[in-house]
Structure 1
Amino acid sequence: MRMRLLTRVIIFLLSTVALLSCKKQHVEKQVDFWENTVELDLDEIKKRGFIRAIVDNTSTSYYIYRGRRMGYEYEMLRNLSKDLGVNLKIFVASDIDEAFRKLNEGKVDIIAINLEKTADRTDLASFTKATNEIRTVLVQRNGEEGTVQDLKDLEGRTVHVREGAVYKKQLQMWKDSLQLDFRIKEMPYDSEGLVNLVVQKDIDFTVVDEDVASVNSNYYPQLDVSLEISPASKVGWAVRSNSTKLLAGVNKWLTTFNKSSYQAILYDKYFVNKTNSYFRSNSPFSSISGNRISAYDEMIKKAAEGIGWDWRLLAALIFKESRFDTEAISYAGASGLLQLMPVTLERFGVSDPNDPFESLMGGVNYLKYLDKYWQKRVPEVNERIKFILASYNVGHGHVDDAWRLALKDGYNPSEWDNVAIFLKQKSNPEIYRDPVVKSGYAKGHLAVNYVEDVYGLFESYKVLVEP
């Protein structure tokens, strides 16, 4: 009797543990990234001062050409951020599923990729008004045995598509309706990466949006992109489901943008004027094809070693100053790659500012001087670089004033964000007339923007150009 009772107790306890375990697993399964979305809307984005967008790194969406950030989606986002009154930070998508994860975790605020609105995706995010209408097409090499003229010709073949995209679903529909037997294999590549695999004969077929296919067929005449997989359908961008104000702001901007002459000019620039697109994307100074920023990359790399900088940061500073034009002269008389004033040129040993090496080394010597100037007060290297960049733009005297103002008000003056608060206000008489201020009035907000611009460009270079 006791044994039976003990056995029942044991069975009850084991059942209870199993039940609790199942409930715990069920809860853990249910709580996923789209169900625990970060609360972050337009008001917080504006207060923060920047919006974060995720895009594709393709010859139509986002890339670097001669040091400049370009791309249809990039220029749209730049226009949107201006309309919202915030700065723009760009991230590159590794895959679509990861883009939705980053969106809901608050790591980005908008997915600026052409996405078809599907039932599955509406569980993950809210979609904007349509940014375009795009059909999808099969990409293959032409003139080869086995070229697909009709979808029935896919029988027994393999089509590789982007992971997480709608292309698998579109192909599966044809498989089912035509009762075909072909394989659909998803790969962790963006659309243009898969097109390149077709060109290189690593795969035979892929499916992409028609605009991407059309541009790439201009680069690679061996491609056939004539077979339609899906008719034109509306595509849009995505924001977090709880970012209702951001969604409203983006939709309001899209309503104006889609009717504007700017949209027509932008579309022509990237999709209609294929000759210019071809030269941009096939230039050795394009991140798409050449992994170079400028004609002076090797020189910049060597110079950057002398100050311990990532060479892409120095390249970003040079682009900001001169666009890599050795003969550039500013309205104030600054000249050379790093736009040094005549007195600075003389001080740091530059006799010919139009000589790229001499001009560059003169600028680097000035950067070394500024690094030494701030070293003791700002020991952390990454923070100090921001002080150096601001000093390069507005003069270290004005940055010094902001440093003393921060110290006076109880802020940590070794942190750039604290000093930037006061530098922005140096055009305010109450600030520049403070007793601790030695250099007077300055448009300090421009220097703060300058630092943000250089760092923003540097972040883009880091993503798109190899070290």
Structure 2
Amino acid sequence: MKKALVGVLVFFVISFFGFQCTFIDNRETQEKYWENPVQIDLDEIVKRGYLRAIVDNSSTSYYIYRGRRMGYEFELLKNLANELGVRLHLIIKSDIQEAFYLLNKGKADVIAMNLEITEPRQKLAKFSYPLGQMGTVLVQRKDKKPLNDFWELQDKVIHIRKDAVYKAQLDNIQEAYGVNFSIQEEKGDNESFIQKVINKEIDYTVVDRVEAMVSSTYYDNLDINLEISPKSDVAWAVRKNAPQLEAAINEWIEKKNKAGLINTLFAKYFQNSKNSFFRNNSPFSSVAGNTISPYDNIIKKGAESLGWDWRLLASLVYKESGFDTTATSYAGAVGLLQLMPVTLERFGVENPNDPLESLMGGVNYLKYLDKFWRERIPEANERIKVMLASYNIGHGHVEDAWKLTLKYGGNPQSWESIARFLQLKNDPKYFRDPVVKSGYAKGHLAVNYVDDILILYESYRVLIDP
């Protein structure tokens, strides 16, 4: 009995101190993650071909509306990426601390969240030139006798976004005015806290004034009159050891401020109450609903037949037709999946204007491509990328690229290797090679096509439930 008791005690001590040491190690690692940021600057970003930016999912920052990617930060970032000559990859996060962690660990290149520049944050990253100014307000309901000054905050509970500047602002009010109230920090974005106030789950929150104004234009019961903090500069964050990227972003900000782009987009997303209402209430918005298009049900049916995630097939449909059943390309392709007349006939489509029939014709074509590539590329994810390229440019051109990959010692089961040679099919050295049967092709367009679909799919995957 005594031995057993001693054993239990030893186990407890080891477990406790082992856990405690692990916790301390992890905490110290977390606390120091910004001291030695990963070295990635603009030259490497341009070389790899894409910029990784962290954004919020909100009706002003970034969201999906009728299948299309939209948002203030999204449009700015897309313009920046075009200026830098790279593609844009978005990372959707609401946790600000995690965003700084990912930035310093080299998992992202810029945090595009309109962050207030504070001393603690300047230890974590460098900040761009200001993109504007934002103040903060208390959000409350009018039907609960709105508070009009700081003294009335006594004994109240205010729920705010974790790691935002709001806690420091509220702490300053408590110290300056001698009032005591409870501050509850929780994960989430500003719109989710506003919605909780509207739904009477909480009574008070603090958010940026412009976001509060957007919501107050279509929720009559919101009061946003009590200012918590006046306007201050907001900016984007980059790693402290990325001076080239910082300089390029600052040059771009100066240029776009002079051109009026930033003000135009600010007005579009923060000052147009009609657009804000639709963004926040449409079932086809990722902010309000969980629907991508009016054809989600038949897309799900087609995806089940393929064995695909339905959001991947939806990404292909959007890329092809924008969910317009009457869309016709310059070459005569029609329907949701833009099939040519000969392909329509081959795969049994009699009425290309019928959404279900048109979609299933495209699905049957994809099944054909799946069968064509299955033995050569057994891994499903790699095969899907090759299938998408084949859908765009024709499987003959992609097969040429596959043969070139094989001939020149690449990996014929890797889309990355195949894509490299597909892009080279505009070079006589390669499109005149004896193994090539389909000749010249603008293969880079097909590679970009695949990238576009996969990038859109990633957004659908994150923002829309399965």
Does the pair score TM above 0.5?
A: yes
CA distance in 1, matches of 2:303, 2:402: 27
The whole-number CA distance in structure 2 between the counterparts of 1:402 and 1:221 is 59
Structure 1 residues 439, 161: CA separation in 2 closer, same or farther (over 3 Å shift)? same
Aligned residue for 2:442?
443
**2:67 corresponds to which residue?**
67
Q: Report deviation, 1:29.
A: 5.9
Output the CA distance in 1 between the equivalents of 2:26 and 2:392: 57
Please give the alpha-carbon distance, in whole angstroms, between the structure 2 residues aligned to 1:91 and 1:427. Answer: 33
Quick one: distance in 1 between partners of 2:191 and 2:344? 45
Residues 279 and 288, structure 2, Cα contact 8 Å, conserved in 1: no
SS in 1 for 2:54: strand
CA positional deviation for 1:36: 2.6
- 2:200 corresponds to: 201
Report deviation, 1:26: 12
In 2: Cα distance, 1:205 partner to 1:144 partner = 10
Paired amino acid for 2:285: S
Same amino acid, percent of matched pairs? 59
1:399, 1:138 → 2: CA distance? Answer: 57
1:14 paired residue number = none
- Following TM superposition, by how much is the alpha carbon of 1:219 offset from its aligned partner in structure 2, in angstroms? 2.9
Using structure 2 for the length normalisation, give the TM-score.
Answer: 0.93
Whether the aligned pair in 1 keeps the contact of 2:131 and 2:262 (CA below 8 Å) is: no
* Secondary structure in 1 matching 2:424: coil
1:132 aligns with 2:132: yes
Q: What's the counterpart of residue 265 of structure 2? A: 266
Q: Residues 228-258 of structure 1, C-alpha deviation per residue, up to 9 Å, x if partnerless? A: 1111100101011111111111111111112
Counterpart position of 1:234: 233
Q: Which has the higher Rg, Structure 1 or Structure 2?
A: 1
Distance 1:31 1:217, change over 3 A: closer
Report what 2:412 is aligned to.
413
Work out the CA distance in 2 between the residues paired with 1:406 and 1:29: 43
User: Matches of residues 213-228 of structure 1 in structure 2 within 5 Å?
Assistant: 213-228=212-227
Aligned residue in 2 for 1:51: 51
- Tell me the residue number matched to 1:256: 255
When residues 198 and 427 of structure 1 are mapped into structure 2, their CA distance, relative to the original with a 3 A threshold, is same
Q: Quick one: which amino acid aligns to residue 123 of structure 2? A: D
Change (3 A) 1:92 1:30: closer
1:428 CA drift (Å):
1.5
Question: Is 1:99 aligned to 2:134, yes or no?
Answer: no
Counterpart amino acid of residue 250 in structure 2:
N
Task: Summarize deviations over 1:92-147 as a string: whole Å, max 9, x none.
Answer: 113111100011111111100011111111111111100111111110011323x2
Counterpart of 2:293 in structure 1 is 294
2:56 corresponds to which letter in structure 1?
A: D
AA aligned to 1:316 is: S
Secondary structure of 2:258's aligned partner: coil
Question: After TM superposition, where is structure 1 displaced by more than 4 Å over at least 4 residues in a row?
Answer: 24-31
CA deviation profile, 1:316-373 (whole Å, cap 9, x unmatched): 0000000000000000000000000000000000011110000000000000000000
Superposed, 1:40-439 pairs within 5 Å as: 40-145=40-145, 147-439=146-438
- Count the aligned residue pairs: 444
Query: What is the distance in 2 between the residues matched to 1:236 and 1:55?
Result: 13
CA contact (8 A) 2:57 2:94 kept: no
- Distance (whole Å) between structure 2 residues aligned to residue 202 and residue 441 of structure 1: 62
- 1:89 and 1:318 map into 2 onto residues whose CA distance is 20
The alpha-carbon deviation at position 213 of structure 1 amounts to 0.6
Q: Distance in 1 between matches of 2:243 and 2:125?
A: 11
Q: Sort the Cα spacing of 1:289 and 1:391 in 2 relative to 1 into closer, same or farther, 3 A.
A: same
The alpha-carbon distance between structure 1 residues 27 and 316, as it changes in their structure 2 partners (threshold 3 A), is closer
3-state SS of the aligned residue for 2:331? coil
TM-score if structure 1 supplies the norm length?
A: 0.93
Say whether the 8 Å CA contact 2:136–2:229 is kept in structure 1.
yes
CA distance in 1 between counterparts of 2:30 and 2:335 reads 60
Structure 1 residue ranges without an equivalent (≥5):
1-20
SS at match of 2:247: helix
Question: How many Å separate the matches in 1 of 2:168 and 2:387?
Answer: 52
User: Per-residue deviation at 1:25?
Assistant: 7.0
Q: Which moved more, 1:212-221 or 1:367-376?
A: 212-221
Distance (whole Å) between structure 2 residues aligned to residue 28 and residue 456 of structure 1: 35
Q: Is the 8 A contact 2:51 2:89 kept in 1?
A: yes
The one-letter amino acid of 2:71's match is: G
- Give me the whole-angstrom Cα distance separating, in 1, the residues matched to 2:128 and 2:348: 56
Offset, 1:417:
0.4
State the distance in 2 between where 1:215 and 1:178 align. 30
Provide closer, same or farther for how the CA distance between residues 330 and 26 of structure 1 changes in structure 2, counting only shifts above 3 A.
closer
Aligned-residue Cα RMSD (Å) equals 1.6
